[in-house]
A = this chain, B = another copy of it.
């Protein structure tokens, strides 16, 4: 695996353990996202999704005190400049929003699980990004905020859609989205936005995320990919639909060599070994674009 190709102008990649990729935002001073940055993120994540050697991703920031402060406002203001015809302007704006949403959704459609390790300033777009990841951890020093309402707009890149479905307190979600106030890691844990509050600062939370990632990386990649995919599918379907889809999904996935390997390993108390999801027979074709 060539780790270099996951580096970018605004992102830094490193293989921190067997099969575990640490991907960090890296645009000082505050990881403000302009269009180029989220386009780069999508490009890297879509590439990861097609790299069988990577089994889990930890998403964090290379800056010491900032996960991300969100949108680069200057770029946004430009986008909002008046147009001669509100209808034609609307077509432009809709395209832009859809494109931006798609970039953030790349985290969700990535085959491999993504653990989001947050700390310090984590506001605005930080919430949209985190909601599109699979597991969220936060250091004690994290400052969260759904800041979009403070800049005169309803969040449109995913927070309003995903956040209420992944936490257990819609009243609090609405309060946070409507007041635009800051909140801390403890409150985030209380409502179920993050699973755990771990340590204090960037290093601690990344270390905890990497530990968790290693555990996941030791499992069958077929089982791991399927578990992420099926939970995401379930969220948007009825129980009945989810069960039926699972049945046809597993109709092929249960034919994997991994199930037998895992079960016999469990029964004989040895550590199981699994080939990557691209497998020996398929490695040459595995570069097509990932799909939700």
Show the binding face of A for B, using Cβ within 8 Å: 73, 76-77, 79-80, 82-99, 101-102, 105, 108, 113, 134-136, 148-156, 158, 160-162, 164-175, 177-181, 191-195, 212, 215-216, 219-220, 222-231, 234-240, 242-264, 266-267, 272, 274-275, 277-282, 285-286, 288-292
Contact B158 A216 (CB under 8 A): no
Q: Which residues of B contact A225 (CB under 8 A)?
A: 91
Main secondary structure of the interface of A (DSSP, over half): helix
Contact A164 B219 (CB under 8 A): no
Q: What is the total number of copies of this protein in its complex? A: 6
Q: Determine the distance from Cα of A161 to Cα of B161 in the docked complex, in whole angstroms.
A: 19
- Assuming the A-B contacts A171-B193, A256-B85, A260-B80, are A160 and B248 also in contact, with contact meaning beta carbons closer than 8 angstroms in the complex? no
Query: Closest B-chain residue to A71, C-beta based?
Result: B263
Q: Can you report 27 A-B residue pairs in the complex whose CB atoms are below 8 A from each other?
A: A73-B266, A76-B259, A77-B259, A80-B259, A84-B257, A86-B86, A86-B89, A87-B253, A89-B279, A90-B251, A92-B285, A95-B291, A97-B247, A99-B289, A135-B175, A153-B226, A154-B223, A161-B230, A164-B234, A164-B235, A171-B192, A177-B227, A177-B231, A179-B215, A191-B192, A236-B238, A252-B255
